[in-house]
Structure 1
Amino acid sequence: MARSDDAPASGRGRRIAAVAAALTVLSGGAVGAVALSAHGRDQEPKEAGVPSAQTTAVARQDLADSRTLTGTLGFGGQTTVKGVGKGLLTRLPKADTAVARGKPLYWVDDRPVMVFFGDTPVFRALGTAGVHGRDVTLLAENLRALGYDTGPVASAPPPRAGGSGQGAEPGTELTATLLAALKRWQHDTGQQETGKLVPGEVVVVPGPYRVSGLKAQLGDPVAEEVLTLTSVRKSVQVKMDARDAGPIHKGDPVTLALPSTKTVPGKVTSIGQTVQGGPEADAPGSASASEATLQVTVEPVDSAAVKDLKSASVQVTFTAETRKQVLTVPVGALLALREGGYALQRPGGQLVAVKTGLFAKGMVEVSGAGIKEGDRVVTTS
């Protein structure tokens, strides 16, 4: 993703090559060449090699700077479910069981513990009309999603200025209609028809998940870690050098190369905020410094494309920067001028000053008043 700007060219120049270097004889004098990395951080000068007389045409094309990294495909977003209340576990789900809203996840004292989707736990008994809060909102949203009529949404008034609840989200008011809907749902699902919801009767998870493993056994107390869940969607976890993650954004398209060599489209779904490793994380006196990395998560656009893979190593290609229909030449066509900047050399020896843009895959974007598509220029590669 290297970029550089140049000054007008004059005098002798140095030939720039991605992997080799050459000598160019200009005005009867030998000029040493400098090797320039087309994509990377190391751009140290290298000794000149044997000159090449080949020429190439300035081309107009799309130029994309891409990077391919290895990632691990699997079920992501693991979370641990811990039980609440008293009693013993009397029935547990099997691994790979889908977690569905309004269905039992496990049983305590032979009573089913049902699933709600959301981000607020049931932290108190809900059975008296007039109370309000985010736990009431959770109850109302889930019952409506299950097809029950909960009546008009009754939002509680915001807390008064200076009150102890100032700044807290007021949530929904618990109404008699909502409690009646709760009782109908309890009847339809074989629960005790109490018309009341108490902690431990439902378990709240972020969304449609799958059981990935069990952490408890039958007969264990419920008030401990019961099982683990992962997302039903498969994702790929990629460790990326933190310095290279800047151009990557959530929603960016990527290409996934599967073990079968088939490629499928994907997209970036999240970029980690915590840097792992790096010099600061290394032990004092460590002989080698580790790279500072960020975890990037990508998902296939069509989950069916990886339905037969449970876990696999895949290649993920990120396109960090793209230039549409720009003038390009091989990197080996560049001359680094002694006074600074870059130029191209025509077959007759004339130098043409250019500005360089994106470097990608051995090509470089060039622009300048003296260069146009189809012009022939000298190159070493």
Structure 2
Amino acid sequence: MQFIAAGACLMASGAQVWGAGISDDVVTIGILNDQSGTYADLAGPGSVQAAKMAIEEMGGQVAGKKITLVVGNHQNKADVGAAIARSWFDREGVDMIADFSNSSVGFAVQKLAQERGKVALIAAASTDFTGKACTPTSAQWVYNSYTNGYGLAKVLTAQQYKKWFLITVDYAFGHAFAKDMRQAVEAGGGKVVGEVRHPLNTADMSSFLLQAQSSGADIIALASAGSDMTTAIKQAGEFGIMPKQALAAPAVFLTDVHSIGLKAAQNLKFVTAFYWNRNETTRAWSRRFFERHGAMPTMTHAGVYSSVLHYLKAVDAAGTDEAVKVMEKMRALPVQDVFAENGYLRADGQMVHDMYLVKVKSPETSKEPWDYYEVLATIPGDEVFKPLAQSECPLIKQ
């Protein structure tokens, strides 16, 4: 575990005493994610740099008290993540933990944070974080399977992609995305003409891609992520699937495209919460991030920056780090930063913000390093996130 002081050395902390004011005279934030494995590029050390940028933007203190930052590697294991969070909450005075980038770890810490009266700000995909597992002290900030599955299929079906074929990784993650995409396609008057499922970490996608190619589908959707998705995209290029058939994927990060390369990934369509080269504001912030990290930010990096910054603004405005009071202030304040121009935090813990339908550029149209996306459309937050009326969050039903 790594400890980083933001504006001061890490101070020893005892038991939390809740009430007005700042407990232990310091606000301590934890970034808990995969620092060295599968998700290290899309989150990992980059999320730490993003959090530092948010802390520095606040001048290193809130409500007259110093801010410190601690970092942990959960190794994509829920028990490891929970053990780190428990130690942080119980013995090290951590007030809020952000990122996770892994739903199983996120659920473990979300529950623990509620029990300890602490805040959890989640950058992971499951809609249950703001559904049946919602808590008064947690929020989901970047994206979820509904925005990037249902939302993606809804927009593309409306653009005359009526016949779909799904290539789905055979576990809960893939099933959730495939279900959301199927519902959106059918609601939009389209049809899923076929679906095949493959094991996690499949090295040879050829048989699945050939079935999709021969299906006559207008678009092939990859309900997968990480190496499964990148392998499928690379092999789809070898089979010449695009541009005869379009290719879409729900969980794509800038680092994935960087790894695949524009030649293989060109014309891939997906929904993202952030793109560094969208406007002057995003470019300016992202170039500062690049100077620190050596790569342009993913949507998770920008989302972690936003969530940490908004939390700190709320603590400053509330004059306390007591979790429930801070969450009330987070819901009251608009989310206005480089990540979200018109965001707001709902009662179920969902931070609602615009998303962007993008297409990967060809090598010929890319103008500079990391210039990978063409933004096709802005999708308003109220249209791309699941309506509050459909939420399974128990807090809404009270």
TM-score category of the 2 structures, normalised to the smaller one: under 0.3
Give the alignment's TM-score, normalised by structure 2. 0.24
Larger RCO (alpha carbons 8 Å, 6+ apart) = 1
When Rg is computed on C-alpha atoms for both structures, the one with the higher figure is: 1
Give the alignment's TM-score, normalised by structure 1. 0.24
- Report which of the two has the higher share of helix: 2
- Report which of the two has the higher share of strand: 1
